[in-house]
Structure 1
Amino acid sequence: MTDPENGGGPRISGKDGVGGHAVNDNALGDEAPSAVIEPTKPRLFELLGPGLVTGASDDDPSGIATYSQAGAQFGLGLSWSLLFTYPLMSAVQIISARIGRTTGHGIAGNLRRHYPNTLLQVLVGLLIVANTINIGADLGAMADAARLLVGGNQFALVFAFAGVSIAMQILLQYQRYVSVLKWLAATLLAYVICAVLIDISWRDVLKSLVVPRLQWNAGYLTALVAILGTTISPYLFFWQASQEVEDLHEEPRRKPLVKDRNGGVAALGRIRLDTMVGMAISNLIALAILISMAAVAAKSGASTIETSAQAAEALRPVAGPYAFALFAAGVIGTGLLAVPVLAGSAAYAVGEAGQWPVGLGRRPLEARAFYGTIAVATALGTLLNLAPINPIQALFWSAVLNGVVAVPVMAAMMLMARRSDVMGRWVIGRPLQLLGWTATLIMTLCVSGMLVLSLLPRLTGAS
């Protein structure tokens, strides 16, 4: 049955669907809209927004190094994880986007409104640490890639890329900024081209996707947690939810779904399409990187690729100078996309926690603390490149830290999305609950297994 007050969507049990009655979900969202998808634009590129940018920023230089190291060290042995995580990461990102679109507040804003302040401060603090390390690692990787292509001073390039990232967020109008981010996502095609240029058995690739090669050791589990941490990352949750809120402010006719009785089905249909396309692109690119480095390792015998720049250099003798140049250019493009997302997600989290005016749609003088947080986070990440810190280890462990931080954030999101006092009639239904809790459980088990296997030899030796 349909409900004319719900835009022709499914009739909702109970009064307005509250009291724990969820709108019917399909595999990854609600029933498809019966009318037009929000927003009513004719081209897919214009329809895609926060989900596309979020998925593209997931393949940042830190992620590139993680996938490259996994391919070099384990060959195709971890490729299955990228197919396996697709429905899980799609569900988690859909849930985060729905929280923002439904409530009109980001993740941190909802944590502040509905959960203890201690939990809010701990999660936001961990997010800032992980994001700052990630920003520093990404800026360093971009500078390394630029040096491979055109030469130059490492630190000068780091500062230049940091300045460009800050300027994009502060000086560009919001809609122009979003358009730039979308076009930067096109640089991800470089990795698909690189994979095509590599000589590899595609039969082996397909087999590895459906037949996992599991290993029970600390190195394998650490690499798996790093992949999960860079694929299902806390900053992506905060960013996509806040971008849904930002889009609400950009279009005065739209309202949070808790205040909109007619547009919910169309809005959630648009979120589902946007997110699933964005996450599919993200995992396809990650798989292309892993395949390329697995082929390089098989031909050259090298089992260690520690940075995205090393990954690009390793391609030169195997796939030729064009693949090398494409890979290096892709590192720069994805870094220019990811660094603003990392800094922006930190600023949204800090601003919402402190109840400051937030939003890239605001002028700098209207949201000084928000833009100041963006500048400070980027500056701290820049300075990490001057500190006596191993950038390779910082890059890899930032992905591991993301995996650890993701667990409590995901649990809080899952509990939040089922609360009718938070989501109104648009609480998530059973399919999204199942996928979301499965992702949370798997992340918890992987992190726990990694810690146990890493600490067990030390504890055994001490005894």
Structure 2
Amino acid sequence: MGDPIDSAAPNPASVPNPHDDVKQPERPKLLSVLGPGLITGASDDDPSGIATYSQAGAQFGLGLSWVMLFSWPLMCAIQEISARIGRVTGRGIAGNLKKHYPNPVVYSIVLLLVVANVINLGADLGAMGAGLKLLIGGPQLVYVAGFGLVTVLLEVFSRYSRYVSILKWLTLSLFAYVGVAFIVHMPWLAVAKSLVVPQISFTPAYMTVVVAILGTTISPYLFFWQAEEEVEEVKERDGAKPLERAPEQAVAEFSRIRVDTMIGMGLSNAVALFIILTTAATLHAHGVTDIQTSSQAAEALRPIAGPFAFTVFAIGIIGTGLLALPVLAGSSAYAMGETFGWHVGLARKPYRAKAFYWAIAIATVLGVLLNYSPIDPIKALFWSAVINGVVAVPVMALMMHLSSNPKVMGEFKLHTGLKVVGWLATAAMAAAAVGLFATWGK
């Protein structure tokens, strides 16, 4: 898809950035290409996502594997649109909503985002604690608190460039699930058929899991995070400016965003597919159909697929959790910060963005406390995925309006190809939500 802009080369001159924080060292070109999109996509396969995909595979076998192939181009489109909004305007999704829409609309969206994120944080922390307990024994709740503390300390006190590098390396933990699929016996011909010949069932259970998968895969917190990380990139790279102020940088930046996003979302969906395939070929095939958590899926694999598959699966839960926690807490803090006019940014020193970092810490602490409360974070988690799937529809519609509006995007408003796929993604999420409610109670 071509972009409606001139093919001018980006300006390589190093221009001092007036941003008030310490500049970070320039990164190698390869690593700079794979950044916000890679981390966003990888964080999508968090422990709660693993639980949703495991439940899909255990309950329906290969019957829902087609959803991952179907959702990949839609996910790529909406995440690229999110990144473009941030890179063109120099503001995140919440900042643009705040500027162009009534406050009640913005407050409602941000509130729902934060509530869903906190529930997600609690469930992810619980799954990580349970995963570590499965591996080495010991007190799960202590592990939960430890993971929460480590996450907050890294997010608040790490240099931005070093922190991003850590997140990139953590994406390697996702390959644990690809490895498990090749350890177990996999009916590859049946897998190929399930990908191209969907077996759709209009039952409440089936539609609920479809909406949960889409709500996990195409989730509002991912939109907010990737847009904000593009804003961070503008602040951190010498000479980088919002494209509305530096249109000559557009060709190189849009190319980078597209490659980064396609690889990141491709990795995300491939890993999710392998989790569905693994649990379908092992748990579902042996009559284990009721899986509520990622740690349950790991434990159930041990007698069926062997101790090595169990160990790899459990280690993956911890690695993906360490990647997802800062994204969940960070996206909440970004959204709240832009809504209420705080200084925001992981590149800022803590004393320059106190409210922002307090929001990160409080969201993480609330997630930890969910595990100490009588509230069942696992049941809440599945429904938070369903809520995300429903809430994503108006958020995506507003993003499509923003990105197509020349008053917001100037000459970089969406071209036809990306606009069509973006609206298709929005329509698919709306259709899944309508299907869920239409079958409710039947």
Q: TM-score with structure 2 length normalisation?
A: 0.94
Match of 1:451 among 430, 437, 440: 437
Question: Which letter maps to 1:97?
Answer: A
- The worse-fitting range, judged by mean Cα deviation, of 408-417 and 442-451 is 442-451
Does the 8 Å contact 2:224/2:331 carry over to 1?
A: yes
What is residue 175 of structure 1 aligned with on the other side? 161
Q: Deviations along 1:420-441, whole A, 9 cap, x unmatched?
A: 1100110011111111111111
**2:65 is equivalent to residue 79 of structure 1:** yes
What is residue 141 of structure 1 aligned with on the other side? 127
What is residue 15 of structure 1 aligned with on the other side? none
- Output aligned runs, 1:294-309, within 5 Å: 294-309=280-295
Deviation at 1:394, TM superposition (A): 1.4
Q: Distance in 2 between the 1:385 and 1:41 partners?
A: 39
* Cα 1:194/1:31, change in 2 over 3 Å: farther
- Output aligned runs, 1:62-73, within 5 Å: 62-73=48-59
Question: Which letter maps to 1:53?
Answer: I
Deviation at 1:300, TM superposition (A): 2.0
Match of 1:368 among 335, 354, 365: 354
Match of 2:307 among 279, 300, 321: 321
**2:260 is equivalent to residue 274 of structure 1:** yes
Match of 1:311 among 280, 287, 297: 297
**2:112 is equivalent to residue 126 of structure 1:** yes
- Output aligned runs, 1:29-428, within 5 Å: 44-428=30-414
Q: Distance in 2 between the 1:60 and 1:37 partners?
A: 38
Q: Distance in 2 between the 1:42 and 1:450 partners?
A: 46
Question: Which letter maps to 2:418?
Answer: L
Deviation at 1:304, TM superposition (A): 1.1
* Cα 1:30/1:134, change in 2 over 3 Å: farther
Does the 8 Å contact 1:356/1:367 carry over to 2?
A: yes
Does the 8 Å contact 1:30/1:268 carry over to 2?
A: no
Does the 8 Å contact 2:216/2:385 carry over to 1?
A: yes
* Cα 1:214/1:374, change in 2 over 3 Å: same
Does the 8 Å contact 1:356/1:370 carry over to 2?
A: yes
* Cα 1:96/1:290, change in 2 over 3 Å: same
Structure 1 runs not aligned, ≥5 long: 1-24, 458-463
Does the 8 Å contact 2:5/2:411 carry over to 1?
A: no
Does the 8 Å contact 1:96/1:413 carry over to 2?
A: yes
Q: Distance in 2 between the 1:42 and 1:166 partners?
A: 27
* Cα 1:315/1:36, change in 2 over 3 Å: farther
Does the 8 Å contact 2:132/2:318 carry over to 1?
A: yes
Q: Distance in 2 between the 1:117 and 1:419 partners?
A: 19
Q: Distance in 1 between the 2:8 and 2:42 partners?
A: 29
Deviation at 1:200, TM superposition (A): 1.4
Q: Distance in 2 between the 1:37 and 1:330 partners?
A: 41
Q: Distance in 2 between the 1:45 and 1:361 partners?
A: 18
Q: Distance in 1 between the 2:152 and 2:300 partners?
A: 31
* Cα 1:33/1:389, change in 2 over 3 Å: farther
What is residue 19 of structure 1 aligned with on the other side? none
Q: Deviations along 1:365-385, whole A, 9 cap, x unmatched?
A: 000000000001011111111
Question: Which letter maps to 1:297?
Answer: L
Question: Which letter maps to 2:293?
Answer: T
Does the 8 Å contact 2:4/2:412 carry over to 1?
A: no
Deviation at 1:398, TM superposition (A): 1.5
Q: Distance in 2 between the 1:98 and 1:378 partners?
A: 28
What is residue 20 of structure 2 aligned with on the other side? none
Q: Distance in 1 between the 2:289 and 2:256 partners?
A: 42
SS in 2 for 1:77: helix
Deviation at 1:417, TM superposition (A): 0.1
Q: Distance in 1 between the 2:141 and 2:406 partners?
A: 51
Does the 8 Å contact 1:137/1:395 carry over to 2?
A: yes
Q: Distance in 2 between the 1:302 and 1:129 partners?
A: 32
Does the 8 Å contact 2:11/2:249 carry over to 1?
A: no
Q: Distance in 2 between the 1:69 and 1:438 partners?
A: 26
Q: Distance in 2 between the 1:31 and 1:299 partners?
A: 53
Does the 8 Å contact 1:347/1:370 carry over to 2?
A: yes
* Cα 1:229/1:330, change in 2 over 3 Å: same
- The worse-fitting range, judged by mean Cα deviation, of 293-302 and 437-446 is 293-302
Deviation at 1:321, TM superposition (A): 1.2
SS in 2 for 1:259: coil
Question: Which letter maps to 1:258?
Answer: E
Q: Distance in 2 between the 1:32 and 1:207 partners?
A: 44
Deviation at 1:299, TM superposition (A): 3.6
Q: Deviations along 1:40-93, whole A, 9 cap, x unmatched?
A: 976534420000000000000000000000000000000000000000000000
In the alignment of these two chains, the number of paired residues is: 430
Does the 8 Å contact 2:119/2:377 carry over to 1?
A: no
Does the 8 Å contact 1:33/1:269 carry over to 2?
A: no
Question: Which letter maps to 2:365?
Answer: A
Deviation at 1:295, TM superposition (A): 0.8
Question: Which letter maps to 1:72?
Answer: A
Question: Which letter maps to 1:108?
Answer: A
Measured on the aligned residues, the alpha-carbon RMSD in Å equals: 1.8
What is residue 460 of structure 1 aligned with on the other side? none
Q: Distance in 2 between the 1:382 and 1:359 partners?
A: 23
Q: Distance in 2 between the 1:217 and 1:319 partners?
A: 30
Does the 8 Å contact 1:30/1:265 carry over to 2?
A: no
